Amino acid sequence: SHLPGLEFPADYPTYVPRQKVVEYFEAYARHFDIRPRFNETVVAIEKTGDGWAVKTASGKGFYVENVVLATGVNRVENIPRWSGDESFRGVIMHSRKYKNPKPFAGQKVLVIGMGNTGAEVALDLSLNGAETYISVRGPVSIVPRDVNGRPVQLTARAMSKLPFGLGDWIGTQIRKRVIGDLSKYGLKTDPTPPTVLLRKTGKTPVIDIGTVAQIKAGKIRVLPEVKRFFASEIEFMDGQKLPFDTVILATGYRARLQDFVPDLEGFLDKNGLPKQPVGTGKWDGLFFVGFDNYKLGGILGTIYNDSATVTQHIRARQTAESSV
């Protein structure tokens, strides 16, 4: 996975750490002379004549024929509410604000949500001195990070080329063998093949890097869905109440394109994501990169593919206009 036109350096590891990704993005911007306008918040994108007016919070405006939106599926934190949460005397924070486990050492911490973020935050806390719990609402799809030394994403891509259903069956058998039955630890696993779940719902399977082992070792305790908050306790759907110092919401994000692009009804799917990267009809001239959350390969692969599609359409528009 890499962005179009510039691969990761050859000495980068298979699993690229955060700082290396940052360095790659900075090198990418230098390579293509990309100069972002930082601290320039877009507040509205509106149709005007044959193009689009882009308005910013500072009052600046841009009038262009084409607009590429690449704000991503993780733009705005999803912060659910529970009865009594305003009276809770502990800390409630979204996982976006989580930086490292040091502030939570010695605390009793509840992570709500077990996607990849929740699983990794819980793992990090459990390895660094926090008494760690994770609240899980429903069945979770979990896969190992590696299969016989090979990244699971590459294995999934290879199996997707097998006859219909065969790759999904093999993937399910691998998961059963490596992950096993977690029900006795309070965690139900989703029986749906991970690739089917991704294609149908956009839910990425939890790629396990050690969380399952910590759950099995009793270092992370799995709890059911939260029912309500009290001043110093939280009640769960099974009736038990437990005290916590900190609650970390690993409850995901929303794209929320409607915040600055009006009248997208019909173009977005039920998850609020564009149905395709190229706008047509009244959305002609709008393009969307990095929103296809339903395919294998991760976000960089999605950006790579979307960029090629968008570039092709913009060139075609320019060619058509110049020939008139």
Which of 205, 234, 253 corresponds to the end of one domain? 253
Q: Rounded to whole angstroms, what are the CA distances from 11 to 8, 300, 304, 324?
A: 8, 19, 21, 49
| 203 found inside a domain | yes
**205 and 81, same structural domain?**
yes
Kindly report, residue by residue over 194-208, the tens digit of the pLDDT: 778 888 888 888 999
Residue 145 pLDDT class (50, 70, 90 cuts): confident
What is the model's pLDDT at position 252?
Answer: 95
What is the model's pLDDT at position 30?
Answer: 97
High-pLDDT (> 70) share of the chain, % = 92
What is the model's pLDDT at position 166?
Answer: 72
Domain count, the chain: 2
Cα separation, 41 vs 57, whole angstroms: 6
Residue of 120, 7, 289 whose CA lies nearest to 16: 7
* Section 186-191 average pLDDT: 89
- Provide CB contacts within 8 A for 10, sequence distance 6+: none
**117 and 81, same structural domain?**
yes
Which of 237, 253, 269 corresponds to the end of one domain? 253
Kindly report, residue by residue over 38-93, the tens digit of the pLDDT: 999 999 999 998 899 999 999 999 999 999 999 999 999 999 999 999 999 999 99
What is the model's pLDDT at position 159?
Answer: 58
Around Cβ 154, how many Cβ atoms within 10 Å?
14
Cα separation, 20 vs 8, whole angstroms: 9
* Section 96-123 average pLDDT: 98
Helix or strand run (H / E) with residue 150: strand 150-151
**238 and 91, same structural domain?**
yes
| 1 found inside a domain | no
Cα separation, 128 vs 101, whole angstroms: 6
Residue 179 — φ and ψ, nearest 5°? Answer: -85, -45
Q: For residue 152, what is the domain's CATH number?
A: 3.50.50.60
Q: Are 17 and 235 in contact (CB under 8 A)?
A: no
| 24 found inside a domain | no
| 299 found inside a domain | yes
Output the CA angle 114-184-219, nearest 5 degrees. 60
**154 and 89, same structural domain?**
yes
At 278 the three-state DSSP class reads strand
Q: Indicate whether 104 pLDDT > 90.
A: yes
**110 and 69, same structural domain?**
no
**90 and 46, same structural domain?**
no
pLDDT averaged over every residue in the chain: 91
Task: Provide the whole-model pTM.
Answer: 0.88
Cα separation, 104 vs 129, whole angstroms: 8
Cα separation, 172 vs 155, whole angstroms: 13
Kindly report, residue by residue over 266-319, the tens digit of the pLDDT: 999 999 999 999 999 999 999 999 999 887 767 888 899 999 999 999 999 888
What is the model's pLDDT at position 161?
Answer: 66
- Provide CB contacts within 8 A for 149, sequence distance 6+: none
| 95 found inside a domain | yes
**160 and 42, same structural domain?**
no
Q: Indicate whether 192 pLDDT > 90.
A: no
**244 and 117, same structural domain?**
yes
Which of 253, 286, 303 corresponds to the end of one domain? 253
**265 and 240, same structural domain?**
no
| 294 found inside a domain | yes
| 124 found inside a domain | yes
Domain that holds residue 149: 76-253
What is the model's pLDDT at position 175?
Answer: 73
| 3 found inside a domain | no
At 87 the three-state DSSP class reads helix
Least confident of 37-46, 93-102, 151-160: 151-160
